[in-house]
Amino acid sequence: MELSLAGRRALVTGAGKGIGRSTVQALHAAGAQVVAVSRTQADLDSLVRECPGVEPVCVDLGDWEATDRALGGVGPVDLLVNNAAVALLQPFLEVTKEACDTSFDVNLRAVIQVSQIVARGLIARGAPGSIVNVSSQASQRALTNHSVYCSTKGALDMLTKVMALELGPHQIRVNALNPTVVMTPMGQANWSDPRKAKTMLDRIPLGKFAEVENVVDTILFLLSDRSSMTTGSTVPVDGGFLAT
């Protein structure tokens, strides 16, 4: 998708791998200045080599105090992609406290914290902004062994709507997008078994998983002025899964 984001400063969480990394590359190609936030320094080092000028920030977003130290002084940000998440799959009866805490801290609480930092800066500058929360089709459908993950993403969809409600008067748009399976490191960890993958593919009208580019194109659309009247939405990138 040809979009110019020159002059905009963007922040992407979970930028080391998968959808986040490809989003940074696309934003960089579209002329945006990008702050890339992730947890593994080696991923950020290679990303900066690929995309000179990207500003790396290495932090565990599950740690509120460390995140505050790392991002509290990040400076002006116009576009935010809350993408970092974990998918810790367990049968409901075996769900652990640790999986609950980590999942909600990273998938939901960090979205609140990073969005507060960015939105406060936008409001102080009187600048418009766009925030994209990377949710999942799992926010709206029950998937076996996904009770905690589905719950974090269901909460993220509702957080998106309330953020849109409260930040709209400041001309800050907030949207979620809800992909089906994508074969990133997270997708490979959970959907590489062909028999398990077939159970999902059989529920997708287009009969295929999403490519990273499908997700990145939609993120850039929601960040850009091409979607300037869209806020509070949950946008499927799911081959029709949520229609069934």
Ligand X SMILES: NC(=O)c1ccc[n+]([C@@H]2O[C@H](COP(=O)([O-])OP(=O)(O)OC[C@H]3O[C@@H](n4cnc5c(N)ncnc54)[C@H](OP(=O)(O)O)[C@@H]3O)[C@@H](O)[C@H]2O)c1
* CA end-to-end distance (rounded Å), the chain: 28
- Asked if 196 is an active-site residue, the reply is no
Minimum distance of ligand X from residue 7's CB (angstroms): 26
Helices within the chain (DSSP H only): 18-29, 41-50, 64-71, 97-104, 110-125, 147-167, 185-191, 194-201, 212-223
Cβ closer to ligand X: 113 or 130?
113
**Collapsing DSSP states into helix, strand and coil, what is residue 208?**
coil
Residue 86 in the binding site for ligand X (CB under 6 A):
yes
Residue 160 in the binding site for ligand X (CB under 6 A):
no
Residue 151 in the binding site for ligand X (CB under 6 A):
no
Minimum distance of ligand X from residue 227's CB (angstroms): 19
Q: Looking at 48-56, 90-98, 178-186, 193-201, which segment touches ligand X (CB under 6 A)?
A: 178-186
Q: Label the pairing between strands 129-134 and 172-179.
A: parallel
Residue choice 81, 85, 163, 164 for contact with ligand X (CB under 6 A): 85
Question: For residue 169, what are the CA distances in angstroms to 59, 115, 229?
Answer: 31, 16, 13
**Residue nearest ligand X (C-beta atom):** 18
Distance from C-alpha of 67 to C-alpha of 37, rounded to nearest angstrom: 10
The DSSP code sequence of 211-234 is PHHHHHHHHHHHHSGGGTT--S-E
Distance from C-alpha of 25 to C-alpha of 21, rounded to nearest angstrom: 6
Q: Looking at 14-22, 93-101, 195-203, 225-233, which segment touches ligand X (CB under 6 A)?
A: 14-22
Closest CA to 217 of 174, 188, 177: 177
Catalytic residue among 17, 97, 149, 198: 149
Token pair for 19: 């959808």
Q: Looking at 68-76, 120-128, 185-193, 194-202, which segment touches ligand X (CB under 6 A)?
A: 185-193
Residue 134 in the binding site for ligand X (CB under 6 A):
yes
Residue choice 71, 174, 181, 216 for contact with ligand X (CB under 6 A): 181
From residue 16 to residue 55, what is the string marking binding to ligand X with x (rule CB under 6 A)? xxxxx-----------------xxx--x------------
Minimum distance of ligand X from residue 238's CB (angstroms): 9
Token pair for 16: 């080391």
- Asked if 153 is an active-site residue, the reply is yes
List residues near ligand X by CB under 6 A.
14, 16-20, 38-40, 43, 60-62, 83-87, 106, 134, 136, 179, 181-182, 184-187
